[in-house]
Amino acid sequence: MPFMSVKFSLQKRVKLAQGLWMLYWVSVIMGILVFSLGIFFKIELRKRSELMDNNESHLVPNLLILVGMLACGANAFGGKVCHDSLDPIKFAKWKPMLKPYLLMCCGFNVLLLMTALLCFLMQFAVYLTLAEGLKNGIKFYKDTDTPGRCFMKRTLDMTQIEFRCCGNNNFRDWFEVQWISNRYLDMSNDEVKDRVLSNVEGKYLMDSVPFSCCNPGSPRPCIQHHLTNNSAHYDYDHRIEELNIWTRGCREALFSYYSSMMNSIGVLVIITILLEVGYMAGLKYLSTALETMADPENPECESEGWLLEKGVKETFAELLTKLKTLGKINQVEEGGDAQEGLNIPLKPSGSQSEVRTETGTILL
Amino acid sequence: MVLLKMKFTQQKRVRLAQGLWLLSWLAVMCGAFIFCLGVYLKTELLRRAEVMDNTEIHVVPNILMMVGLASIGTNWVASRVCQDSLDASRFPRWKVLLLAWFVVVALLCCLLIAVVVLSYALQGRLEESLKVGLRNGIRFYKDTDVPGRCFQKETIDRLQMEFRCCGNNNFKDWFEVQWVSNRYLDFTSKDVKDRIRSNIDGRYLLDSVPFSCCNPSSPRPCLQNQLTDNRAHHNYEFQSEELNLYSRGCRQALIDYYMGLMNSTGPGVLSVILIQISVLLSMRFLQTAVEGAMALENPEGDSEGYLLEKGLKETFEDVRANALNMLKFGQVDPADAEQSPEAEGAEKAADDTTEKAASPTPAS
């Protein structure tokens, strides 16, 4: 018994074909959108590559670009099939391609599902990459005259200004690194010397942050230096001061930016999957409805459309048997069959002789 | 003599009507574009209203919005006229309206030309407005607890960061104002007291700038304080230091931004003017050609289309004569104004009689 069979009149078939045609073109637009988002995501990753140690994975954006292009192609083809479906002559040429097309759509849906899952799962990798990258970024902030790190200061400053954040986890991360290059330190100054000597690793550490940590929303001019010393500033308490500098860490800020982007893309891909499944079902109904017309010469006649020719159980069983037979064909039978074409007598190593066969001469 | 006369067959008239219909819809789109341009420009000006002294420049976006909306309306009417132009029963009703339509479209073209001219003409006014506005903005930077000026600091800081500028003309403008509020000054400190006493106006002046003047592209951590004192910083020469702070003033940056905006809208507006003039001329040709065909009582036959019934000179003379006639018609004749006292008395008596007749007799 066919699975989910529906009766179709001519009007119903026309409506189905028109609806599917429209939906296919909606899906083409969705494909373009997925493709564009893939490119956008790739650009965004490239833009902040320095903050990820140039270690970021481009698997998700590359998949999105691929999936977007495939969606455009596959759905444009589906749209053409629907457009020609009500013309028996035109539809006849598409008929042999429908089964491979539907199988390809199934494969494509699996790929889409994988992409959607990766959109959600790869966020963890992004988080770890950001953590490591930002830690190194802060460490190399001062190295403006080191080749390959010249723009690290600029990148970090711009990031802190744009994302309204400070440090990796918070502004205290700046207290743990020397972020002023020795080039700008007066080593003849006693205060500088004392500070360097008091540190085990000989680093010049301060309770200060770069200017890019300053919050323009603060009512008082920005305090960047001696942040933990209340007596260094008038009417100031560093424990309750919230507006002076950004309190959020850049890892959190960047991660929330990327994760919201990936979540949105993931949701869009899931919507695309649902649409794809809908089209596949619709196209299957349309093709079966056109195939089962009682009188193909009379387009007015009724027909029956279904999703599966037999029930789910029977179809699954049939599929298993097919797979088994395929497996049997590929097996090598024991006994004489394997050596039927070529009887090669064994010779001691070192000697060489010719063996004539039907296919030609082999040197042994 | 008729100006720019052309022969029109029925087919040519149909072609003209179809072409004009398309052109008028294109002009509707252009109207929408002009309106959006006006809204965008207005928004951008309003965003920076705090650093502008007057709103004279707002005349440009106001005209753009008004012209945009009017253009949408007039060109929609034009598309309707085109649809009705080949129907002998429907076209005559537009005859009276078309004269008004031509006047409105000509006025719109003049207004658009005025916008282009004003964009360049008002540059001086915009500069003056920004000069005064920014000067006040810098002066009120410290007043974060004064109602109405609470966000002045944030506005200026964000402006300097976004436009990569510092001060009004340059960073030295900050040396001439007290930009740190008294609320954050320790008046028990000798340094603060001395600095205030040394100033005639009792202001606390520093050779320092806010953090928002700092340039992220500088290789060294930002120096904001004691900018003119070379000894206060190691390896520093303030005359030759170019990267530490933004060297460009905010007035110049904003002028460049707004003039860039207006210069880029200029070509867009000019192309819209050309489209609008094309619609105007085509409509005139269509009107005269269709009216000519109707006058011959053969809508299928050939007719003549032209721009003006007479030459430019004669048309101008006609318009002038008509205008003078209208003015004469509006004047009050002095002979009618002067009436004899007898006539006046008779008139008064007649009025009284009428009044008595109209009033009801009181009940006894």
Q: Is B230 on the interface with A (CB under 8 A)?
A: no
Q: What is the pLDDT of residue A275?
A: 83
Nearest to A219 among B153, B189, B216 (CB): B153
> What residue ranges of chain A have pLDDT lower than 50?
342, 347, 356, 363-364
Residue A180 with chain B: CB contacts under 8 Å: 221
CA B249 to chain A, closest CA, distance in angstroms equals: 19
The reply to whether residue A235 touches residue B234, judged by beta carbons under 8 angstroms, is: no
Residue A153 with chain B: CB contacts under 8 Å: 216, 219
Strand partners, A3: A308
Query: What is residue A3's DSSP assignment?
Result: B
The reply to whether residue A184 touches residue B234, judged by beta carbons under 8 angstroms, is: yes
Q: What is the bridge-based pairing of β-strands B303-305 and B6-8?
A: antiparallel
Nearest to A185 among B179, B181, B234 (CB): B234
Whether the CB-CB separation of B289 and B304 falls below 8 Å is answered with: yes
Q: Is B226 on the interface with A (CB under 8 A)?
A: no
CA A185 to chain B, closest CA, distance in angstroms equals: 6
The reply to whether residue A224 touches residue B211, judged by beta carbons under 8 angstroms, is: yes
Nearest to A154 among B153, B157, B216 (CB): B216
Q: Tell me, rounded to whole angstroms, the distance of Cα A118 from its chain centroid.
A: 6
> How far is the first Cα of chain B from the last one, in angstroms, to the nearest whole number?
81
Q: Find, among B56, B72, B55, B79, the residue nearest to B108 by Cα.
A: B72
Distances (CA, A) of A318 to A105, A154, A314, A323, A324: 21, 64, 6, 9, 10
CA B72 to chain A, closest CA, distance in angstroms equals: 29
- Write the single-letter amino acid at B256: D
The reply to whether residue A234 touches residue B214, judged by beta carbons under 8 angstroms, is: no
The reply to whether residue A224 touches residue B161, judged by beta carbons under 8 angstroms, is: no
Q: Which residue has the tokens 């048997």?
A: A321
Residue A211 with chain B: CB contacts under 8 Å: 211, 214, 221-222, 224
Nearest to A234 among B144, B185, B224 (CB): B185
The 3-state DSSP class for residue B331 equals coil
Q: Find, among A2, A122, A22, the residue nearest to A62 by Cα.
A: A122
CA B237 to chain A, closest CA, distance in angstroms equals: 12
Nearest to B158 among A186, A189, A216 (CB): A216
Among B234, B237, B241, B245, the strongest candidate for a mutation testing the A interface, having the largest count of A CBs within 10 A, is B234
The 10 Å CB-count burial string (b at 16+, else e) for A328-361 is: eeeeeeeeeeeeeeeeeeeeeeeeeeeeeeeeee
CA A177 to chain B, closest CA, distance in angstroms equals: 14
Cα separation of A163 and A179, whole Å? Answer: 20
The reply to whether residue A184 touches residue B220, judged by beta carbons under 8 angstroms, is: yes
Cα separation of A343 and A54, whole Å? Answer: 59
Query: What is residue A166's DSSP assignment?
Result: -
The reply to whether residue A224 touches residue B219, judged by beta carbons under 8 angstroms, is: no
Q: What is the pLDDT of residue A32?
A: 92
The reply to whether residue A219 touches residue B145, judged by beta carbons under 8 angstroms, is: yes
Nearest to B219 among A153, A210, A234 (CB): A153
Residue A161 with chain B: CB contacts under 8 Å: 161, 216
Helix/strand/coil (H/E/C) assignment for every residue in A232-298 = HCCCCCCCCCCCCECCCCHHHHHHHHHHHHHHHHHHHHHHHHHHHHHHHHHHHHHHHHHHCCCCCCC
Q: Is B229 on the interface with A (CB under 8 A)?
A: no
The reply to whether residue A211 touches residue B158, judged by beta carbons under 8 angstroms, is: no
Q: Tell me, rounded to whole angstroms, the distance of Cα A15 from its chain centroid.
A: 36
Residue B158 with chain A: CB contacts under 8 Å: 216
Q: What is the pLDDT of residue B149?
A: 83
Residue B185 with chain A: CB contacts under 8 Å: 234
Q: What is the pLDDT of residue A139?
A: 86
The 10 Å CB-count burial string (b at 16+, else e) for A165-195 is: bbbbbbbebbeebbbbbeebbeeeeeebeeb
Task: Please name the residue of chain B whose CA is at the shortest distance from the CA of residue A149.
Answer: B219
Cβ-based contacts under 8 A for chains A and B: 69
Nearest to A221 among B180, B214, B234 (CB): B180
Residue A150 with chain B: CB contacts under 8 Å: 219
CA A206 to chain B, closest CA, distance in angstroms equals: 13
Whether the CB-CB separation of A168 and A251 falls below 8 Å is answered with: yes
Cα separation of A338 and A96, whole Å? Answer: 37
Cα separation of B217 and B243, whole Å? Answer: 7
Residues in chain A: 364
Q: What is the pLDDT of residue B214?
A: 96
Per-residue pLDDT of chain B (364 residues; tens, 9 = 90+): 555 666 666 677 777 888 888 889 889 989 998 899 899 989 989 988 988 888 788 889 999 998 999 999 988 888 878 777 766 666 666 666 777 888 888 988 998 899 888 887 887 979 889 989 998 999 899 998 889 888 889 999 989 999 989 999 989 899 989 999 988 999 888 889 888 878 878 889 989 999 999 999 999 899 988 899 987 988 898 878 888 999 989 988 999 999 898 888 888 888 888 898 888 888 878 877 777 776 666 666 666 676 666 666 666 666 767 777 777 766 665 665 555 555 555 555 555 555 545 555 454 3
